[in-house]
Amino acid sequence: MDNEKPIVDFSAIRDALGKDFKPVQVMDGQANVVNEAIVSKYSNDQLVDFLKLMIWERTLHQRSNALTRQGRLGFYAPTEGQEASEMGSNSAMKSTDVLMPAYRDIPQLIQHGLPVYKAFLWSRGHVLGNEYPEDLHAMPPQIIIGAQYIQAAGVALGIKKNGTEDKVAYSYTGDGGTSQGDFYEGMNFAGAFQAPAVFIVQNNGYAISVPRRKQTAARTLAQKAVAAGIPSVQVDGMDFLAVHEVTKAAREYAAAGNGPVMIETLTYRFGPHTNAGDDPKRYRTKAEEQPWFDNDPLIRYRKYLTDQGVWSEDIENDYVDQVKADIKAAVKQADEAPKQKMTEFLGNVFEEQPQNIQQQITEYQAKESK
Amino acid sequence: MSKKTYIQAITDALRLELGSDEKTLIFGEDVGKNGGVFRATDGLQAEFGEDRVFDTPLAESGIGGLSIGLALEGFRPIPEIQFLGFIFETLDSIAGQMSRERFRTGGTRHMPITIRSPYGGGTHTPEMHADSLEGYLAQIPGLRVVTPSNPYDAKGLLISSIRNNDPVFFLENLKLYRSMKADIPDEAYTVPLDKANVVREGTDITLIAYSAQVNQSLKVAEKLEKEGISVEVVDLRTLSPLDEETILKSVEKTGRAVAIQEAQRQAGIAANVASLIAEKGALYLSAPVGRVSAPDTVYPFGLAEDDWLPAEDEIEAKTREILNY
Ligand SMILES: Cc1ncc(C[n+]2csc(CCOP(=O)(O)OP(=O)(O)O)c2C)c(N)n1
């Protein structure tokens, strides 16, 4: 019979998928506080420090952009628009937590302890940018999309096996990254082993030119964690306090031995994917971009704190000048890095040199001494 | 005839094949609206529609498996892997699956898949973007590994690859994309697979190279000509399987050979060439087979690339060494 009801109504199930995920927000785009309890937890000084983190990231972005144009940086993935997502989450972590970053997570790496000049050397393609001191609990930025997620699961399992208390592994990927097998495998492993990992998806709308809606039919990216049996949440990624609070709660939950958590931040990449020839005009319209620009994560906190009388244009200008001076000093330090040597590269392939490498070291020694 | 760059020649081949066979499909990351990150597929989605040219979610393993499935349904997939360094995610599909299908189904299924990917150094890309992984691919039975050294071959070899019923890994050199132009026919033409090309005749020594190193070798040959040294240059074009006949014939004529590659020295294509000559052409030789390659390190960071990649003067020095042996 044609109009007989099927045993299962798949359309209804599909329509319901992901409906439970509502973005967490603390302050809306007009600087209206929607969660008073959270805001009142913080002193004005603390809130100013948070705003400074975002302005620092914005300034770093602007300088990095200018430096790439001058040919003084190599690879650079713009971060403008993602300040609340990046700084909001990172500021909720401890310096002893292990950060597994991707190429757009340079600001978090720096806040986690990477000297700025090393970040610049990494961008230029110098190994010194990847030589991290032992107390910097992070790996260099990952280029292979998704790889950092499974590795974060491994770090988290290691933390658990070592019995280390109050420590988590955390990692970032983009909306595009959530399509990779590694993404699912990382979450599934961490879930299966109940390992202390915090997985952050920065949903900035695009994987290079591919919009989020073409990436997956899932209504939210947060719901992708459901299949791994781990809790997840969607958060307004332009809202620093919301991202910060959610990440802090996730960290506490994971560090307490409850297993991993996943967070999807709803944000936007204002500029191109990287500075190496990507042109967003090919795949985005002004009409789509403008509302996001108006929702700049700096605007609402700047307004709120200005209204409170604790922030002003003058304070901001002084602070930006100071950040610029630090960056200038870092560029100088990067410029002074010694030339990379093939003999050193060869020496770093293995701990003990086999004969083919020894021979090649001798060959390159001759060339380098010329 | 029109003057075209290497990458324009590739776009040309793709457009012609999409136009002549409706079973051909182009897909991958950013190949649609964006026309690929290097614009190799520029305008093709607008011309042929989203059914024929489409973006996939960001997952190389998915792209590989999708290709196999589509081939089983009678399509001729032309997937793009955005950079060769990202093939590791899809190696199960390539090495473990598609290249074995004809064999494991007793010849009853075929996999007319052409995987395109840029590779090769000298453009200061970030990690994993320039690595020469052709040596890994060349050890996979049932997979052809093809790489053109100029715009003419790029178009003709790509058309041959797409029309071929077995999987082909088609490697496009990043540095060559826009650094050279040549007059090529506007219509479709083929350049044969599995055949090396003697790009320059000579009698004193044979330089055997592929991709960007062919052009470096030609420059060395021109330089040595001024001293009265006659250098033959062989462009492998297909790296696997090797065209043994052309290589051996040339070495028989010149009696000396140097094999050149951009990749690390260990276990690469140049090693295959040298062992072929040692095994089947030893009696032609008046000197050992020379090899020019990068050292056996992980692919270096951008700033060190120029020191790491085999340079023209290294090819020249090795050629002189073998000549004077
Ligand atoms: C395994 C792999 N495939 C492809 C790429 C090329 N690639 C670099 S970034 C990118 C898009 C990533 O988008 P998303 O995950 O959303 O992060 P976003 O860059 O937007 O932060 C692609 C396809 C890569 N680096 N690694």
Distance, in Å, from the CA atom of B170 to the CA atom of B87, rounded to the nearest integer, reads 12
Model pLDDT, residue A5: 87
Model pLDDT, residue A370: 84
Model pLDDT, residue A154: 98
Which atom belonging to ligand 1 lies closest to the Cα atom of B86?
1
Q: Is the peptide bond before B241 cis (omega within 30 degrees of 0)?
A: yes
Model pLDDT, residue A2: 64
Cα A124-A88-A201 angle, rounded to 5 deg: 70
A143 touches chain B (CB under 8 A): yes
What 3-state DSSP class applies to B115? strand
Q: Does the pLDDT at position A297 exceed 80?
A: yes
Stretch A30-40: mean pLDDT: 97
With residues binned 3-state (H G I as helix, E B as strand, rest as coil), the percentages for chain B, rounded to 5, are 40, 20, 40
Stretch A124-133: mean pLDDT: 97
Nearest by CB to residue A124, choosing from B85, B295, B303, is: B303
pLDDT classification of A368: cutoffs 50, 70, 90: very high
Q: Whose CA is nearest to atom 11 of ligand 1?
A: A207
- Average pLDDT score over chain B: 97
Å from CA of A269 to ligand 1 middle: 13
Q: Which of A72, A201, A214 to mutate to test the interface with B (most CBs of B within 10 A)?
A: A214
Stretch B206-218: mean pLDDT: 98
A179 touches chain B (CB under 8 A): yes
Nearest by CB to residue B58, choosing from A145, A340, A364, is: A145
d(CA A176, nearest CA chain B) in Å: 5
pLDDT digits over A333-357, tens only?
999 999 999 999 999 999 999 999 9
pLDDT classification of A321: cutoffs 50, 70, 90: very high
Model pLDDT, residue A60: 98
A252 touches chain B (CB under 8 A): no
Q: Whose CA is nearest to atom 12 of ligand 1?
A: A207
**First-last CA distance in chain B:** 45
Which atom belonging to ligand 1 lies closest to the Cα atom of A104?
21
pLDDT digits over A257-277, tens only?
999 999 999 999 999 999 998
Contact B83, B120 (CB under 8 A): no
d(CA A122, nearest CA chain B) in Å: 9
CB contacts < 8 A, A to B, total 114
Contact A190, A156 (CB under 8 A): yes
pLDDT classification of B132: cutoffs 50, 70, 90: very high
- Average pLDDT score over chain A: 97
Neighbours of A70 (CB within 10 A): 9
pLDDT classification of B59: cutoffs 50, 70, 90: very high
Å from CA of B94 to ligand 1 middle: 21
**Cα separations in angstroms, B261 against A247, B157, B284, B292, B311:** 49, 20, 23, 6, 10
Å from CA of A333 to ligand 1 middle: 30
Contact B128 A143 (CB under 8 A): yes
A270 touches chain B (CB under 8 A): no
* Residue A283 appears among annotated catalytic residues: yes
Partners of A103 on chain B (C-beta within 8 Å) are 126
Contact B303 A125 (CB under 8 A): yes
Distance, in Å, from the CA atom of A101 to the CA atom of A138, rounded to the nearest integer, reads 8
Stretch A146-168: mean pLDDT: 98
Q: What tokens does A31 get? A: 């600087």
**Measured on CA atoms in the order A188, A191, A193, A199, is the torsion positive or negative?**
positive
Distance, in Å, from the CA atom of B67 to the CA atom of B70, rounded to the nearest integer, reads 5
Q: Mutation test of ligand 1: which of A143, A145, A185 has the most ligand atoms closer than 8 Å to its C-beta?
A: A145
Nearest by CB to residue B61, choosing from A181, A209, A363, is: A181
Model pLDDT, residue B61: 98
Query: By percentage, how much of chain A surpasses pLDDT 70?
Result: 99
The structure's pTM equals 0.96
Which atom belonging to ligand 1 lies closest to the Cα atom of A146?
1
Contact B128 A103 (CB under 8 A): no
d(CA B191, nearest CA chain A) in Å: 32
Cα A284-A290-A292 angle, rounded to 5 deg: 90
Q: Whose CA is nearest to atom 6 of ligand 1?
A: B82
> What are φ and ψ of residue A292, in 5° steps?
-70, -40
Contact B15, B164 (CB under 8 A): no
Distance, in Å, from the CA atom of A83 to the CA atom of A56, rounded to the nearest integer, reads 9
Q: Which residue among A42, A283, A319, A364 is the active-site one?
A: A283
Stretch A156-167: mean pLDDT: 98
- ipTM comes to 0.95
Contact B308, B297 (CB under 8 A): yes
Q: Does the pLDDT at position A6 exceed 70?
A: yes
Contact A202, A267 (CB under 8 A): yes
Distance, in Å, from the CA atom of B135 to the CA atom of B271, rounded to the nearest integer, reads 10
Q: Which residue among B52, B129, B237, B291 is the active-site one?
A: B129
Give the binding-site residues of ligand 1, using a 6 Å CB cut-off: A 104, 143-145, 173-177, 202, 204, 206-208, 269, 273; B 29, 58, 60, 82, 86, 89
Model pLDDT, residue A3: 73
Closest residue in A to B59 (Cα) is A180
B91 touches chain A (CB under 8 A): no
Q: Does the pLDDT at position A4 exceed 90?
A: no
pLDDT digits over A53-77, tens only?
999 999 999 999 999 999 999 999 9
Q: Does the pLDDT at position A1 exceed 60?
A: no
Stretch B252-278: mean pLDDT: 97
